[in-house]
Each structure stands twice: as structure tokens, then as C-alpha cells.
A and B are shown apart, each in its own frame.
Chain A
Amino acid sequence: MIVRIEEKGAVVLIEVKEERLDAHNSGEFKGQMLNLFEEGKNNLVVDLQEVRFVDSSGLGALVSGFKNASARNGNLKLCGLQPQVKSMFELTRLHRVFEIFPGAEEALASF
């Protein structure tokens, strides 16, 4: 699982550098977010620009991150969703849960 993690002031930007976020790598992704929460970093932006495919367990990992961030008075926002990936959020109604931005700059500026 390749991710690029960069601190942008009080917010951490996570760029997912994988074509698929699925049952094979979502557990590892969840673990990487948990490490950030344990370091006290509770405001995250997940950039999915390079992700072409997300399944239910990829969505589950993002829900887990969102719940963990919220429980710590932080937030997890998304950006860079490709059209088919976005349609997965709509199918599962998760587009009503996450704040979704076109690009990382807009997402970072919203905190």
C-alpha cells in the first residue's frame, strides 16, 4: 500500500498512490490512518486522485477514518474522486457523510 503523507499546517494530506483501494489493501490503509490519530493528528484530507477503483471495504476504511477523526473532534475530508469512484459514494449514500472537494487545495483550505 503506497501513500504519501504530508503535513500541511494543522491538517495532514494523505495521497493514495494505488489504482485500487479494495479488500486487499484497505486494512493496511486503515492502520496508516490509525497511526496518525495516535500521533494526535485528527484532521485529514484523503486525496483519491490516482484511485480508479474502490470497493465496499475501501469505503469501510474511509468510514472508519471518518469516525475516528470525528470522535477526536477532528474531520476527514475527501478530494480528487474519479467519476466512477464518486458514483460508489452515491450508491452507498456516503456522499452525504463526507465533505468532498474537487482538489486538495480546496479541501485543505476548508479547515
Chain B
Amino acid sequence: MKEKIQVNIKVPNQTRYLGLIGKIGEDVARTLKRYKGDREELAYHINLVLTEAMANAIRHANEGDPDKEVHITIAIMGKRLNIKVYDQGQGFDICTLPTPDFKSLDEHGRGVYIIRSLMDKVTYRKLKSGHVLEMIKTLH
């Protein structure tokens, strides 16, 4: 039987909740039944992409408005990991951003590169109210 896990969380649009969401992501990685790779590495990577995607939603898409919400789903279906981060804002399409120039020593711009490096497929779509960033990875 395929392992099915779905976690559904809503938190206020504030960076103080990044650690909580990251930790939940780590615990999902540690709980997986059949994962054969380095679990601690996977835990860190899930924590990281959740943190990066959520920070973008909070700061850019939801423009730091503390009354807005960020909605996150983490789903495992067999070998497929699917993470969605919903914002309620004007949108911040990370898929259109260029790869950072590593030599320029810019303070910003690494978050999107990190998400793209660690996940297989990343898309950003408009919904009725807000947007969703979807990140997919096949676990081996």
C-alpha cells in the first residue's frame, strides 16, 4: 500500500511561525516509512524549502500584512512529495526570477535558487483569491 500523508496548516502572515512550519516539515521527513536516503538531509531540505517559500509569501506576496494568512499543505503520496504555499496577495512569481550571479555577493536572491535546486518542479499559479506556489519532488 502507498504511504499517504497530508498535513494542512494555516498560520498568520508573520515570520515568527517559520520555525514551527519548518519543524513540522522535518518531522514528516523523519516519519516516512520507506525512504531509503539520508533522512536528516531530507528533513533539512523540506524545512528549508518551506521556510524560503513561506518567507517569500509573507514578505513579498502578502506584503508583510500581519492580518493576512499563509496556508501550507505538505502531502506525501508514495514517492511523491508535494508542498503548496498559498498566499493572499498580489503575487510574487519566483519562476520568473533569474539565477543569482554568485560573484556579485548580493544579499538577496538565493532563496528562489535554493528552492529550484532542491525540488524537481516548481510552479506558481493564480487562484480566485491569491496564488499558490507548488513544489514537487520524487523521493528515492
Residues of A with Cβ closer than 8 Å to B?
19-20, 22-24, 53, 55-57, 59-61, 63-64, 66-67, 84, 87-88, 91-93, 97
Contact = CB atoms under 8 A, between A and B. Distances in A.
A61 B107 CA distance: 7
B126 interface: no
Q: Which interface residue of A57, A64, A67, A91 has the most chain B CB atoms within 10 A? A: A57
B55 A23 contact: yes
A22 B18 contact: yes
B55 A92 contact: no
A64 B106 CA distance: 8
Contacts of A67: 105, 107
Q: Which 10 A-B pairs have the closest CB atoms?
A: A56-B111, A23-B55, A56-B110, A24-B15, A60-B107, A93-B102, A84-B44, A55-B51, A23-B15, A64-B107
A23 B114 contact: no
Nearest to A93: B102
B55 A60 contact: no
Contacts of A64: 107
A56 B18 contact: no
Contacts, number: 68
Interface in B28-45: 40-41, 44
B105 A84 contact: no
Contacts of B19: 19-20, 22, 24
Contacts of B108: 56, 60
Interface string B92-103: 000000000010
A91 B111 CA distance: 11
